[in-house]
Structures are given as C-alpha cells and as structure tokens.
Structure 1
Amino acid sequence: MLSVFFNKSKPIHYVVLGILLLVIFTVSRLNVQVQELDTLWILKQLGVFIALIISVFVFDFFVTKNKLTQKNSFKMLLFLVFVAILPETLMNAKIVLANLFLIFALRRMLSLRTHRDVKKKLFDAAFWVAAASLLYFWCIVFFILIYVALLVYSFSEIKNYLIPLVGLATVGIIVVCYRILMNIEILNGLKTFTAYSLDFSSLNSKRIIIGTTVLFSLGLWSLFYYLRNIKSKMKSHRPTFKLIVFNLILCLFVIAVAPSKNGSEFIFLFTPLAIIITNYLEIISEKWFKESFLWLLVVTPFVILVL
C-alpha cells in the first residue's frame, strides 16, 4: 500500500524514488527525436537529470526542516508523480535549472522564520531569483515573494528591504561585465528575453489537458483544506504556510504569461502543489480514501500514455 510505505521518511525511500525518477526521465526521453546522438547531448541530459534530482532532495530537505509537512515521503512521491503526469516539464533544460534556483531561493526565504543571519539569507534569495530569471525571465516575479516573506515574518527595518535589491544588482553587474568582455551589446535580445503571451492554444493536447485537469482539481480541493487548517498550526509556523500560498499564486502567474507555452513551465507549480496536497493527505483519516487518492495520481500517467 502506497500510503503505508511512504507514511514515514526512510532511507529506502530515497533509493526507490531516485530509481523511479531515473525511469521517468529515461521514458520521457524515448519520445524525443534527436538528430545526432553525441557526447554533448548525453552530457546535457545528464546535467538535466542531476538538476532534477537535486531539486527533489533540496525540496524534501527544506520542507522537512521548516515542518511544512510531517516526517513522511509523500511530498517527494508527489513531485515525481507530477513530473510523470507532465513529462513536458523536462523538455526545457533552462527551465529545469531555473526551477532548481528558485527552490534554493525559497529555502532561504523560509529560513527567515528564525530571524537569524537575515541579511545573508535575503541576499542569497535575491541572488538565486535573479540567476533563475537569466534562464527564464519571468522567474523575476518571485522577487516579490522575498518582500512578502519580509512582511509575513514581521521585519520592519528598512535596510532589510534594500538588501534584495543588492542581490539583484550583483547579478545584473555580472551579466553586464560579461557582455562587455564578450563584446555583446548590453540590450541585445532584450525584447525577446522579456516576451510574454496569453495564448493557451499550444497547450491544446490530450495529455496536457488531462494532466493539468487532474493536478488543478486535486490541488484546488487540497488548497481548501490547507487554508482552513493554517489556524491549527503553531503560531510561529503560520507565516511559512501562508508564504507557500503566495508562492503558488506567483507560479500560476508565470504559467499564464509564459511566452512559449509547451508544458515545461508547469514545473514551477510542483513545489507548492506537492506541499499543499501532502498536507491534505496527512489529515485524511480514512485509509481507503488516502490510498485511492494516491493511486489516482500514480495511475494518471499510465492512463494518459494509453490514450
């Protein structure tokens, strides 16, 4: 039974989920047509897989450390299942890496709860968000989340609100220096870089429609209980749970304005969605319902595959 096996966090889970992730990644690559299978292509795929597996384990680390869920492996399982439901999220190496940088940034934002090393954490968070935006411009909206974190964690010093700008400026200066050294026009390609689109017609495929319908339906249902149960959490942890909701909203915005909608942009949604649905799984008292809920998610990729 899935609910029983993943109900506790055990070392064996990392092995099982690591193998599962490798299988999902490999299968997703079977449908990709490659003009020339060379060493460079293989190294690129290896880099994408390493970025993905680091994302999953760092995600598990900061969620557990900040007590956003109980000590179980549901969150990691859900993250992997989301990837299996929408394998298109692995098609763009830059977006996979950008998502990893955002996970690093979110980890630093959530750690502000302790009110220790605040300036360093703010700089790090802004730096990672800026780095992510170099790979995928609209990641810049997560810069807003840093200021939301300052507000929900009740920081009042003005200088704390200026530090993220220093982190952003640092990345900007590095980019400008690089372009000058490489003799590249500083504003070259800026229009393409900041492009956006509200046209969702490119997502009109059976797999993406079914996959997103399942994720949004279960996510919306879980979000209702997540919001309702925030008041039952420890007072010191409530801001952290609220921050995840703001993160979810920003992820939806990024998906909405994505210039090239091919499904890869949905990877940004997996982090907050896995946390929210895991919280719902933890409050389900009926074992049969919890098991059915999990199996519905696990079976979805196979159903999509045969349709």
Structure 2
Amino acid sequence: MITSIFNKSKSINFIVIFFIALLAFIVAKFNVVNEAITLGFIGKQTTLFFVICASILLLNFIVSKNSLTKKNNYEMLLFSLFLLTITQTTSHSNILISNFFVLLGLRRIISLRSEKDINKKLFDASFWIAIGALFYFWAILFFLLILIAIVLYADKNIRHWIIPFLGVLTVFTIAVSVSIILYDSYFELFDVSPQMSYDFSNYNSMKHLVALTVLLSFGIWSSIFYLKNIKNKKKASRASFKIIIVAAIIAFFIVILGPVKNGSEFLFLFAPLAIIITNYIETIKEKWFKEVFLLVLVLMPFTLLLL
C-alpha cells in the first residue's frame, strides 16, 4: 500500500510529507519552547518551518534533476520520517539553516557532471557551503566534497582547484565586512568554534537508542547494496552516486565531532541517507518485503512518540 502511494510523484504525497514534517516540528517545539507566544515568535517559527519545507523540495529537485533515484517520492518521505524520528533536528535554527545551504552546495556539486559552467558551479558550491559553515562550523567539512568531486570527474584544470578556495574567501570577506559594520568587530558574525566532543551520554535514552539503531542499521545495510550497484549505473552518473555516499560519510563525521550531542547534528545525514535507502528500496523485487521495509520506517517515528 505504501509503495503504491509513493511509487509515483503525486500531489497527495507532498501533503503527507509536509504534514509529517510539521508534526515533527510541533513535537520538537512542545519539548523545548519556553518563550511567550508573540508575533515575533510565530514569525520565527514559520520561517524555520519554511526552511524545512524548502530543504525537502530542494532534496527532491537534486534527486530528480540528476536521476539519483527513479521517479518516486521515497526520498522525501524518508527525509520527513527521519525528522519525526529525531525531532531535535527541527528545533535548532542554526543547523536547519546550515543544512539548507549545504544542500544548495550539494546541488551545484552534483551538477558538475554536465561539464557546463564548471567555474561557476565550483564557486557557487564553495560559496553556499561556506555560508552554511557560518551557521554551524563543522559544515565546513563538506568543502572536502568539492575537492573529491574534482577528483572523481578527473578534472586536471588547475584553475578548478583554486576556484573553491576563492568562494570561501569571498564569504569570509563579506562576513568580516558585515561584522565590522554591524558590531564594530572583525569576527563577531562568525560561529568559529571548532570545538569537539566525544560525550555521547545524551544518546543514552530509549528514544535515541532505538532511533539510532534502526537508522544506522538500515543505512549501513542499504549502503552495502548502494555501493554494489554503482557499477551498474551509467558511466556518466557514477560520480554523482559516489558523491552521495561521500556526503553521508562526511555527515557521519560531523555527528561524531559536533560539540553538542543533542540529536540535531544528525540533520546533515538525512538527505544522503534518504537517497541511499531509496536506491535500496528500488532494488527490492519482492513486493511484500518492500512493504515491510517501508512500514518499519513509517511506524518507527510514530511509535517513538509514545515512549
């Protein structure tokens, strides 16, 4: 039943997906909000929910534009379910905004496969990722994805190795200028706090343990088949699929290195993980197994709400 609904792109799919995202957003707010309900508060929360919806639509655009999955909405469904599984990912504005800019950068990186406007795409990718790093420092690790993409596309043009650094320098220059104008300080605008923490005690709860166990188990299992099937993809598209798995690895390192382990750091992992698991779902030939696989992912977040 679930597969028949989301197997093709339909308007009802978007309604269901955005409802799940809204539910995740509301549940998260009930747990952490202690502010008075004012117009300013409502405006801020509306903006943040818009960022979530924009991130989901951007993920769908990246996937459909680059044929990373077949024509279905599984990746959007999974992304929204992941939000509901770890609702803390919707409650931290800096990480929500940072992830959105990282997705913008990822879009430009994957579009390098067309071999058109390479200079512009490299600059844009580094520019967006650098902006994302202003909101959450460790997002800068996705800059490595640009350099890896250049290697994967076997680009020997030395200028293409320089341009990403110019993109970061541009953001740095703009940020310093704005900081001086607004705060009379060079670095007031920066979230440059390369702190690390290996204290995972916040994950020591039933909700987190169940959520992380299921997500990582399904993710690792799907990644095995994902990597195995890359060689079956068109030669021109293989680099794009490799970029997604590298993005997932980088996001996993962000989870490990993040200074505050509150669950929100998993947001960076959701987009690549949704694409990887979707690719696995598409390879499942037994309809009953596909239904059960998806059903577990659908029921898990709703079950966790009861714990």
Calculate the TM-score normalised by the size of structure 1. 0.96
Deviation at 1:122, TM superposition (A): 0.6
SS at match of 1:101: helix
SS at match of 1:95: helix
Deviation at 1:189, TM superposition (A): 9.1
AA aligned opposite 1:206? M
Q: Determine the C-alpha separation between the residues in 1 that align with 2:96 and 2:135.
A: 9
**Quick check: 2:79–2:271 contact (8 Å CA) kept in 1?**
yes
Instruction: Name 2:103's counterpart in structure 1.
Output: 103
**1:168 and 2:165 aligned:** no
Instruction: Name 2:131's counterpart in structure 1.
Output: 131
Deviation at 1:257, TM superposition (A): 0.5
Instruction: Name 2:300's counterpart in structure 1.
Output: 300
Q: Determine the C-alpha separation between the residues in 2 that align with 1:206 and 1:121.
A: 43
AA aligned opposite 2:166? V
Instruction: Name 1:90's counterpart in structure 2.
Output: 90
| Structure 1: gaps (5+ residues) | none
**Quick check: 2:25–2:91 contact (8 Å CA) kept in 1?**
no
Q: Determine the C-alpha separation between the residues in 1 that align with 2:281 and 2:238.
A: 19
AA aligned opposite 2:275? I
Deviation at 1:290, TM superposition (A): 0.5
> Which whole-Å deviations, capped at 9, do the CAs of 1:123-159 have from their partners, x for residues lacking one?
1100000000000000011101001111111211000
Deviation at 1:100, TM superposition (A): 0.4
Q: Determine the C-alpha separation between the residues in 2 that align with 1:175 and 1:192.
A: 12
Q: 1:96 to 1:230 in 2, by over 3 A?
A: same
Q: Determine the C-alpha separation between the residues in 1 that align with 2:56 and 2:82.
A: 12
> Which whole-Å deviations, capped at 9, do the CAs of 1:71-92 have from their partners, x for residues lacking one?
0011110001101111010110
**Quick check: 2:177–2:186 contact (8 Å CA) kept in 1?**
no
Q: Determine the C-alpha separation between the residues in 2 that align with 1:192 and 1:62.
A: 29
Q: Provide the identity percentage.
A: 43
Instruction: Name 1:291's counterpart in structure 2.
Output: 291
Q: Determine the C-alpha separation between the residues in 2 that align with 1:184 and 1:32.
A: 33
Deviation at 1:166, TM superposition (A): 0.8
Instruction: Name 2:61's counterpart in structure 1.
Output: 61
Instruction: Name 2:157's counterpart in structure 1.
Output: 157
Calculate the TM-score normalised by the size of structure 2. 0.96
Instruction: Name 2:41's counterpart in structure 1.
Output: 41
Within 5 Å, give how 1:202-241 maps onto structure 2.
202-241=202-241
Instruction: Name 1:77's counterpart in structure 2.
Output: 77
Q: Determine the C-alpha separation between the residues in 2 that align with 1:182 and 1:18.
A: 36
Instruction: Name 2:198's counterpart in structure 1.
Output: 198
- Superposed CA RMSD in Å reads 1.5
**1:31 and 2:28 aligned:** no
Runs of 4 or more above 6 Å deviation: 189-192
AA aligned opposite 1:268? F
Deviation at 1:34, TM superposition (A): 1.8
**1:112 and 2:77 aligned:** no
Instruction: Name 2:5's counterpart in structure 1.
Output: 5
AA aligned opposite 2:217? S
Q: Determine the C-alpha separation between the residues in 1 that align with 2:183 and 2:277.
A: 48
Q: Determine the C-alpha separation between the residues in 2 that align with 1:193 and 1:128.
A: 19
How many residue pairs match? The answer is: 307
> Which whole-Å deviations, capped at 9, do the CAs of 1:16-39 have from their partners, x for residues lacking one?
322332233223322333231111
SS at match of 1:193: coil
Q: Determine the C-alpha separation between the residues in 2 that align with 1:95 and 1:230.
A: 30
